[in-house]
Structure 1
Amino acid sequence: MSDERIEVRRTITADPATIFRVLRDPDGHVAIDSSGMLMAATGEPVTAVGDEFVVHMDRESLGDRPMGRYDVTVKITAYEPDREIAWTIIGVSRPIIGHVYGYRLEPSADGTVVTSYYDWSDIHPEWREKNVFPIISEQALKATLGILARTVQDKDIPA
């Protein structure tokens, strides 16, 4: 981890394919979001680098900027089925910011070790000067992994 990247890990009692199905689905992003900003999504599950879908956002839940409701385009930057998915955001802000969110999945004896990451090391210099990153906290990433676990894990397996 660095000053420009957050990574959190959690073992989830589900296989990588089950977890990946949620992560490649636009509605899955909305379902597991802990920030409260993702309101809905439009688009099909992604299948490759370069695929895109739209997320309908509401920044009000963070209470940090009066942006109201707006849309962003999620553009896939890494895609390896059942192993890794990452994306950048193309939104209303210009220049394009350049931050990346993603998940790595590693099979384990107890299910899948899921690493969630948020990286702003390659953001546009204009955004770096504004010193507004990270927008999402380490705790929010951990909470999203908790929601992901609740969404996919076998309810019969004790914690």
Structure 2
Amino acid sequence: MSEQFRVQRAVAASAADIFAILSDPPGHVSIDSSGMLMAASGDPVTAAGDTFVVHMDREALNDYPLGLYDVTVEIVAFERDKQIAWTVRGRVEPGHVYGYLLEPIEAGTLVTSYYDWSAVPQEFKDADIFPVIPESALRATLGILARTVAPGKPRPELPSP
């Protein structure tokens, strides 16, 4: 079984405009479809190793009674206008990674969102905690991203394989 979700969507916006949202802490909150991200604080990230704080509400998932808590997002991959990925630091550090790949296309940008829990320790996998969010949440977040970065613009077609 795969331990990664990958979804794609063509977005009618430049990679730079999309990356500006993805590298800004409040941008993460504005496009989140899970309902867990309540607010974020910190400066826009500019390199791998940068961090910011996200104020979370796990009750949105109705799975584990963690209530309100904070996590530190640590950037693990950063290539301006092309790639950004992060892991979560806090009370528990399972090692899962969220990220985006941006590829210019004629109609804007092909955005790939991924969630990888392959590095999560087996004890967490055995506890049936992962994946934390379903693949549909990644797809929904891409829809919110498209609406946020390119309001009123028509959705471009995905390139043919």
State the TM-score bracket (shorter-chain normalisation).
Answer: over 0.9
Identity %: 60
**1:125: which partner in 2?**
122
Runs of 4 or more off by more than 4 Å in structure 1? none
**2:158: which partner in 1?**
none
For 2:94, what is the secondary structure of its paired residue?
coil
**1:50: which partner in 2?**
49
Q: Does 1:37 align with 2:36?
A: yes
**1:59: which partner in 2?**
58
**1:106: which partner in 2?**
103
How far 1:154 sits from its partner (Å)? 5.1
Q: Structure 1 residues 109-118 or 2-11, which shifts more?
A: 2-11
Distance in 1, matches of 2:154 and 2:100, equals: 24
Matches within 5 A, 1:1-159: 3-93=2-92, 96-153=93-150, 155=152, 157-159=153-155
- Structure 1, gaps ≥5 residues long: none
Q: Structure 1 residues 120-129 or 46-55, which shifts more?
A: 120-129
Distance in 2, matches of 1:87 and 1:128, equals: 20
What is the root-mean-square deviation in Å for CA atoms of aligned residues? 1.0
* TM-score normalised according to structure 2 size: 0.93
Q: In structure 2, give the amino acid aligned to 1:143.
A: A
Q: In structure 1, give the amino acid aligned to 2:121.
A: H
Q: Deviations over 1:103-140 (max 9, x none)?
A: 00000001000000000001123212222111111110
Distance in 2, matches of 1:158 and 1:139, equals: 22
Distance in 1, matches of 2:138 and 2:119, equals: 20
How far 1:92 sits from its partner (Å)? 1.8
Q: In structure 1, give the amino acid aligned to 2:149.
A: V
Q: In structure 1, give the amino acid aligned to 2:104.
A: P
* TM-score normalised according to structure 1 size: 0.94
Q: In structure 2, give the amino acid aligned to 1:69.
A: L
Alignment length (residue pairs): 155
Distance in 2, matches of 1:150 and 1:137, equals: 21
For 1:19, what is the secondary structure of its paired residue?
helix
Distance in 2, matches of 1:60 and 1:131, equals: 18
Distance in 1, matches of 2:121 and 2:89, equals: 13
